[in-house]
Amino acid sequence: MRTRSLLLVLSLACAAPLAAQGLMGDMHRDVNDVQKKFVDLAKAIPESAYGWRPSAGVRSVGEVFLHVAGENYLIPIAMGKAAPAGSGITSDFASGAAFEARTLTKDQIVTELDASFKHLHQAMALTTDTNLTETIKFFGQDWSRQRAMVLTVTHLHEHLGQTIAYARSNHVVPPWSK
């Protein structure tokens, strides 16, 4: 009986704060994990491989990282968080494409990627467990905030998988796999 009580106390002590236990707490934790993996992978891939692409017409390594950063600025617009003025990104998809088309160094891309995740977290804070069913205009369509959050997280994981494949094709082992 004493062991059970001790385990219960330990499990309660290790639980996340109440505010972080809902869906949005889970979303923030997941995005934190994805952010770390993206930034660590972007740093691990040599700059000489940033122009590599698996075939013609497909995004290069650097372009994928810039795409993720651009979407981390574009998607939050629908959530009510404008992109930083310096990004040039507006609700117009062409502004996102222009952002991604810039020629940057590896260090600049890593910096942009990291900054975009900070911006994404600020936008995510506008969605709470209590307003998940609220309807927002998401690229001209009515979506719930929850649906927009699910799309945001799945989009990040899609491109994380892509960059892992790109890294391994360039003989780079993801840092968390070592």
Give the CATH number, domain containing residue 166.
1.20.120.450
3 falls within a domain: no
pLDDT digits 0-9 by tens, 44-73? 999 999 999 999 999 999 999 999 999 999
Region of 80 (left: φ > 0; alpha: ψ -120 to 50; beta: rest) is: left
Q: What percent of the chain has pLDDT over 70?
A: 88
9 falls within a domain: no
Q: What are phi and psi of 42, to 5 degrees?
A: -60, -35
Task: Say how many domains are in the chain.
Answer: 1
Question: What pLDDT shows up at residue 20?
Answer: 52
Residues near 109 by beta carbon (within 8 Å), at least 6 away in sequence: 42, 50, 62, 65, 66, 69
And the tokens for 153? 């997280």
Which structural domain range is residue 98 located in?
21-177
Query: Cα–Cα distance between 36 and 178 in angstroms, integer?
Result: 15
Q: What's the whole-model pTM score?
A: 0.86
